Structure 1
Amino acid sequence: MAITQTSDSEAYRDAIGPAQVTSVLPDGDNPIADYKMDADERVIVALGYKQEFKREFSLWTTFCVSFAVLGLLPSFASTLYYGMGYAGTAGMVWGWIIAMIFIQCVAMGMAELCSAMPTSGGLYYAAAVLAPPRYGPFAAWITGWSSWIGQVTAAPSVNFSLSAMILACGSINNPSYVPTNWQVFLLTTLIMILHAAISSMPTKRVAQFNSWGSTFNIIALVIVLITIPAAAKNTPRFKSSHEVWGHITNLTDFPDGVAVLMTFVGVIWTMSGYDSPFHLSEECSNANIASPRAIVLTSGVGGLMGWFLQLVVAYTVVDIDKVINSDLGQPWASYLLQVLHPNAAMAVLGLTIVCGFSMGQGCMVAASRVTYAYARDDCFPLSRYWKRVNSYTQTPVNAVIINAVLGIFMCLLILAGDVAIGALFSIGAIAQFVAFAIPIFIRVFFVGNRFRKGPWHLGPFGPYIGAVGCAFVMLMVPILCLPSATGSDLTASLMNWTCLVWGGPMLAVTIWYIVDAHRWFTGPKVNVEHAIHDIAEIVSDDPDEQPSVEPSSGDVKAN
């Protein structure tokens, strides 16, 4: 798109129209276009990027992807060990509701950023634009790599749990059958390939698939919430409220208060999908309103329904130790067999498996958009391949493929045992949480009143809500690294490897930035044709004569 000559800057600006977003284009710089852009394209162009995707996601379908990534039922099933195994039923019910209040603050702070900067780069882009002068590229580098590490490990960890649940069904039906690590790995690999194929489809098909999956997730969750209390076989059917709420079963070597804080890892991991609308915002219609709404809706609905599920399990569980240490190797399956008759337990486990498949696919979609966005700004080796958009599907197929290949290689950890593969769960929680907090922290403590709000915002409460969310993240980062045992009780199988599996790669990329990347990495790159001078000036048709500009990482500006 180009304009060859104009002497009427007002007419040009009328054609472009205003975009109520934070922009990386310097004041007075205008994108060049010879047609009238719609509202969504004005927004993305003001952010410095061409419109390359079809905008076929709505508020509902965007919410569906994020709710699929959230995957309450399979996520809860995968992390039941952390909630129940650290502090018992009181830790579950109190831990979830306390953590959700603070997680909602993080989600609202993120939504405010999304409204101002609705781009696939999401948190990475916001950190670059909002950081103080000279620190934008480094802030983007750290945020981007932490976010990407969390995103790329999400699908493998979800699919590993899904495979374990599927094979646990075989063990339930045939007690003599014991799944091998090779069988778990091969099944996980098959699921990864299926998810990659679905995620490479055209945007409309991906949206439809996730809409169906999330609808099923919601229906299945409601069915489970009704079925377990109604069909529980125990006598008495429910525990007393005093036992559920007032008795902390501390299975760690730390004080009760710390044990309850440690249960938050399950909440944080389960609730880590609400950033997906941010990454899908370039494919969403009315993105700077619909995407932030989807973020808050995902966190709010997910938090409330997740707490209901916590209550159901807390009131019906009989023997926590047998659930956690069952030979099945799957606490959720052990719990279901403990409280339900076998046929009902298998039915609920089947619903969980279908929901888990939808969740893994949602994780694959979100991760591919993050990979595409970062490759677009040359963050990765061979970025020119990963940032290509397939001409037929209009989706980043190459990004999907590289994520799937990396995920399959990660799943080789299954062959090394439970301790090694458990690292995928720990890295996802802390990596995403840190990435969520960095741009919110910068917005609250460094930008102040210079922040250009989008059409969805928190008004005067924005900085305070963001500060509360950041404080919670700072508290939880060391808690997420604690093992359940200390002293002589601490063994390799009980060790929390989060410090190593997240801290090691982050240390490596930090050293890479200091030694080399700071020379060539400048943060988000403008890829639209634009004029640094006033549009009234004559603009040449020759692209070699077009003026260029590097985005400003320190100043918050708006078109």
Structure 2
Amino acid sequence: MASAIESHGKAYRETEKDVQSHTTSVGSEQGVEMSRDEHQLATLGYKQVFIRSFGLFENWAATFTTMNFVSGMPVLFGFAMYTGGPQAAFANYSMVGGLSTIVALSMAEIAASLPTAGGIYYWAYKLGGIDHGPLLSWLTAWYNWAGWLTIVPGVAQGNTNFFISMLQIIYPESTLIRQGWFGWCISTMNILIGLVPNILSRQAVKWNLRLTAYSVVVLMAFYWIWFPIAAVQRNGFQPKSILTTFYNGINTEVDAEGKTIIQAGDAYCWIIGILFGAWEFYGYDASVHLSEETNGASTVVAKGMWTGCLATWLLSIPMLILILFCMQDFAGIVNGGYANNWAEYLVQLVGRRGAVAILIFTWLDGVLATGVMVLSAQRITYALARDGILPCSKTLSKLTTREKLPVNAAIMVVVLSIAINASVIGSSVAFTALTATGTIGTNISYLIPIVARQTLGRKSFTPAKWNLGVWSLPLSCVAIGYICFLFVVLILPQIYPVTPETLNYAPVMLSGITITALAGWFCPFGLGGRYWYTGPKRTISESEVRLARVKGDYES
């Protein structure tokens, strides 16, 4: 039996031969010029097929608007108030933001060296080497893909709760808007709108990224101007002690005397509240998935990742403090009856009409952000299909002739997202399960290449011009510790007592992802990935790369 190295070498030579025989590429003639971006991509094994139309701003905006704190923070504001209150919300959010920036830095170093659309799973293959790379790449691919597939409906559902809350303010007696199927219909509309720019044109994609970034800034300014004025006109600001106010609201069972039965202590409640920040700080790889469409990718993608995360952290903490000090009635917010208790906060502060106006604006911002989520999920779907990991790969990896957009991949993302979002019908915890699953799935996919970078790939990894230098190892260790801790926290029960209606289904969904990935790898009779997946497929031959002439560089 051939060794693993021999088998991989044979598969690689077959791929090389296939590329030379069947691919007409940019380097098929001796001396054909390539830009530095094209040449770097070619050395990584891929022919340039996308149009490089994005610059630093668009790449940065991909990560910045994925986090989108102006609508992302209010999504779980009510959750944060009953899982520790203002004290835990402020401390957890600040901590998670800082640690997430470290994770983004650790990933940015790898992205600078290996800028491909597949990103995370490609890194895992390269850093894992011939022996371990294929399996690590396979697992990373499935976790990352599943994570993004739950992020899209999770963001859409969180945004839908703003819309429904707005309707509840206007029509407080309506029972229609409280039905699960009604929320699903609104979410579906949101996802479909998010699909449009990603199948329309590259210019539409660019403007969606820009408009989403602009809407974040405008909405943030809106908060900073209106909230303090409204607070002065109402009951004034909260005292400094608001930052030390703790509340444990995850125990919902009462005894015969009407007293709450404490099943989860304050420390446990505090830890559960970490989801508030974790839901905000994720999706650092959004910039990575645009690598093959970005000019000066090696430096721009790295900058886009960590600066997008850092900007979110630095801008959102002051806004969280503003929100907490402008709070009017904490008890009313915790006990609010809206789809999202952020609506109760707004009604108290700016009145019913003001709340409706802000909720509409926030919903519109969320619709734009959903388009960014679809963009990232679309690109990772395309990359996986290009490397033959997904079913129907040939169809999913097709690009449109003129705009070079993976429309089929986008349609698949939307169909699956709409189906997944049906879980919110009849479930009070499906939304938090979606948010937790998306956060866990993507973070596990980040963990694998970061660990591989400092272990299996420590000697083989070649840092790019932009790198962390001596800080690489210590920052990676912090990132690894944080992701492992976050994994444990996000699979814990979030409400007590635990019943089928309150169960945290994130571990169930994560188990399903893991079982699917492992089954796909170990499936017998030559069907499993271990028989045929030897890593990302080359789409350009080494001889074409060797003969190509590099014609210049892009400024970043």
Q: Same fold (TM over 0.5)?
A: yes
| Residue 384 (structure 2) aligns with | 374
User: Which TM-score applies when normalising by structure 2?
Assistant: 0.86
1:478 is matched with which residue: 476, 488, 491? 488
Equivalent position to 2:529, from 517, 523, 534: 517
CA deviations over 1:249-283 (Å, ceiling 9, x no partner) = 23344444443332221212211132111000110
The CA deviation at 1:433 is 1.2
Aligned equivalents of 1:522, 1:195: Cα separation in 2: 35
Match status 1:530 vs 2:542: yes
CA contact (8 A) 1:31 1:46 kept: no
C-alpha distance in structure 2 between counterparts of 1:218 and 1:292, whole Å:
23
What is the correspondence of 1:329-344 to structure 2 with a 5 Å cutoff?
Answer: 329-344=339-354
Question: Any conservation in 2 of the 1:224–1:348 contact (CA below 8 Å)?
Answer: no
Give deviations 1:178-197, integer Å, cap 9, x for gaps: 30222222222222222212
Partner of residue 498, structure 1: 506
Aligned to 1:360: 370
In structure 2, the residue corresponding to 1:358 is in which secondary structure? helix
Corresponding residue to 1:438 among 448, 451, 457: 448
Matched-pair contact (CA < 8 Å) for 2:56–2:304 = yes
Distance 1:295 1:322, change over 3 A: same
**1:133 positional shift:** 3.6
2:172 corresponds to 1:175 = yes
Alignment partners' CA distance in 1, 2:422 and 2:234: 44
User: 1:534 & 1:492 partners in 2: Cα distance?
Assistant: 60
* Bigger mean CA offset, 354-363 vs 514-523: 514-523
Give the match for residue 428 of structure 1: 438
More displaced, 204-213 or 255-264? 255-264
Q: What's the secondary structure of 1:340's corresponding residue?
A: helix
Partner of 2:60: 63
Distance 1:141 1:38, change over 3 A: same
Contact 2:45 2:537 in 1 (8 A): yes
Q: 1:72 aligns with which of 50, 57, 69?
A: 69
| Equivalent residue in structure 2 for 1:383, among 387, 393, 405 | 393
Percent identity reads 23
Aligned positions, number: 507
> Which secondary structure state, in structure 1, belongs to the residue aligned with residue 458 of structure 2?
helix
Map of 1:211-360 to 2, 5 A cutoff?
211-232=210-231, 236-241=235-240, 243-252=241-250, 253-360=263-370
Taking a change above 3 Å as real, the CA distance of residues 340 and 152 of structure 1, as seen in their structure-2 partners, is: same
In the other structure, the counterpart of 1:134 is 131
Contact 1:70/1:272, CA 8 A, preserved across alignment: yes
User: How far has the Cα of 1:471 moved from its partner?
Assistant: 0.7
Contact (CA 8 Å) 2:159, 2:363: kept in 1 or not? yes
Which amino acid letter does the alignment assign opposite residue 108 of structure 1? L
Letter in 1 for 2:538: V
Q: Which amino acid aligns with 2:214?
A: T
Q: Is the 8 A contact 2:116 2:292 kept in 1?
A: yes
Is 1:82 the counterpart of 2:75? The answer is no
Extract unaligned runs of 5+ from structure 1: 1-23, 537-559
Mapped to 2, the partners of 1:79 and 1:451 lie a distance apart of: 39
Give 1:429's aligned amino acid: T
Distance 2:327 2:541 in 1: 61
**Cα displacement (A) at 1:460:** 1.1
Deviations 1:292-322 (A, max 9, x none): 1010111001112221222122223244443
Q: Which AA in structure 2 matches 1:286?
A: G
Cα shift at 1:485: 4.0
Any conservation in 1 of the 2:46–2:538 contact (CA below 8 Å)?
A: yes
**Gap runs ≥5 in structure 2:** 1-14, 21-25, 251-262, 549-556
The Cα RMSD (Å) is: 2.3
- 2:337 & 2:470 partners in 1: Cα distance? 53
Distance across 2 between alignment mates of 1:196 and 1:432: 21
1:48-76 per-position Cα deviation (integer Å, ceiling 9, x unaligned): 00101110110001122222222212211
- TM-superposed CA distance for 1:129, in Å, is 0.5
Q: Which amino acid aligns with 2:247?
A: T
SS in 1 for 2:491: coil
The answer to whether the 8 Å contact 2:127/2:460 transfers is no
**TM-score, normalising length from structure 1?**
0.86
Q: 1:362 to 1:332 in 2, by over 3 A?
A: same
Amino acid at match of 1:61: E
Change (3 A) 1:250 1:464: same
Q: CA deviation at 1:84?
A: 2.0
Structure 1 residues 234, 533: closer, same or farther in 2, change over 3 A?
closer
How far apart are the structure 2 equivalents of 1:121 and 1:438?
14
Q: State the alpha-carbon separation in 1 of the partners of residues 213 and 505 from structure 2.
A: 32
Q: Distance in 1 between matches of 2:499 and 2:29?
A: 63
Name the CA distance, whole Å, in 1 between partners of 2:473 and 2:109.
Answer: 10
